[in-house]
């Protein structure tokens, strides 16, 4: 399926030079004369290589036929993340390098949307926020309240996050998985 380059947005999958690439960032430029130009940063799904692609917004580009399917996260082994289709019980794997830092926040047993091209898993859709429980946290220093101080805390997936001093072990927090930053504490 072909589409105009101007309609691409972050997260779309395109076919470039015979391989599947994911759009990481888009930027439009119009200089007053001539055609508007779109600069896109795209990431190769196989190699993880990033390139810049500059095209006129009216140029055509082939979109990859990709389906988002909800699957249960089973486990990760450092190189790959394993998911199970709850309808057919088939297991598939996604390269950890394709998912990036999001893999640190995936919780075993939870459901996430996996992008599939045919039977091949390409990537995982980043949820807007993830709720995780604090398993280990340092004590905040009393009186250290200048300019919103932070401390290290470990969440149930093993990732470390900077959190405010009032957060303690056992608290559940919301994390932005794209940035890996603390958002808020969940009221119980």
pTM over cut 0.85: no
Residue ranges with strand state E in 17-125: 19-29, 37-44, 50-56, 60-63, 67-76, 80-84, 91-95, 111-117, 120-124
Residue matched to tokens 């990859």 = 64
Sign of the alpha-carbon dihedral angle for 112, 64, 47, 56: negative
**What local confidence, expressed as pLDDT, does residue 83 receive?**
94
Q: Are 8 and 14 in contact (CB under 8 A)?
A: yes
**Domain finish residue from 47, 63, 79:** 63
Q: Per residue of the chain (188 residues), what is the pLDDT tens digit?
A: 788 888 888 888 999 988 888 898 999 888 777 788 899 999 888 777 889 988 888 888 999 888 889 999 999 888 899 999 988 899 999 988 888 888 888 989 999 999 998 888 888 887 889 999 999 987 766 655 666 788 889 999 888 999 988 888 889 999 998 888 999 998 86
**Domain finish residue from 85, 101, 124:** 124
Residues 72 and 94 in one domain: yes
CATH number for the domain that contains residue 101: 2.40.50.140
Residues 6 and 54 in one domain: yes
Residues 118 and 139 in one domain: no
Based on the structure, what is the number of domains in the chain?
3
Q: Which domain holds residue 45?
A: 2-63
- Enumerate helices (H) and strands (E) in the chain, giving the number of each: 1, 16
């Amino acid at each position: 399926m072909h589409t105009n380059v101007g309609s691409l947005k972050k997260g779309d999958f395109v076919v470039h030079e015979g391989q599947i690439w994911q759009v990481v960032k888009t930027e439009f430029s119009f200089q007053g004369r001539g055609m508007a130009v779109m600069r896109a940063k795209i990431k190769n799904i196989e190699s993880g290589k990033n390139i810049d692609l500059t095209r006129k917004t009216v140029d055509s580009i082939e979109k990859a036929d990709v389906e988002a399917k909800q699957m249960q996260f089973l486990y990760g082994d450092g190189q790959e993340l394993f998911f199970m289709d709850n309808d057919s019980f088939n297991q598939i794997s996604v390269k950890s390098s394709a998912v990036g830092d999001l893999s640190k926040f995936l919780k075993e047993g939870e459901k996430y949307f996996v992008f599939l091209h045919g039977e091949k898993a390409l990537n995982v859709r980043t949820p807007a926020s993830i709720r995780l429980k604090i398993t280990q946290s340092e004590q905040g220093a009393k009186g250290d309240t200048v300019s919103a101080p932070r401390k290290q805390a470990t969440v149930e997936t093993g990732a470390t996050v900077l959190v405010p001093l009032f957060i303690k072990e056992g608290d559940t927090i919301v994390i932005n998985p794209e940035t890996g930053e603390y958002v808020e504490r969940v009221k119980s």
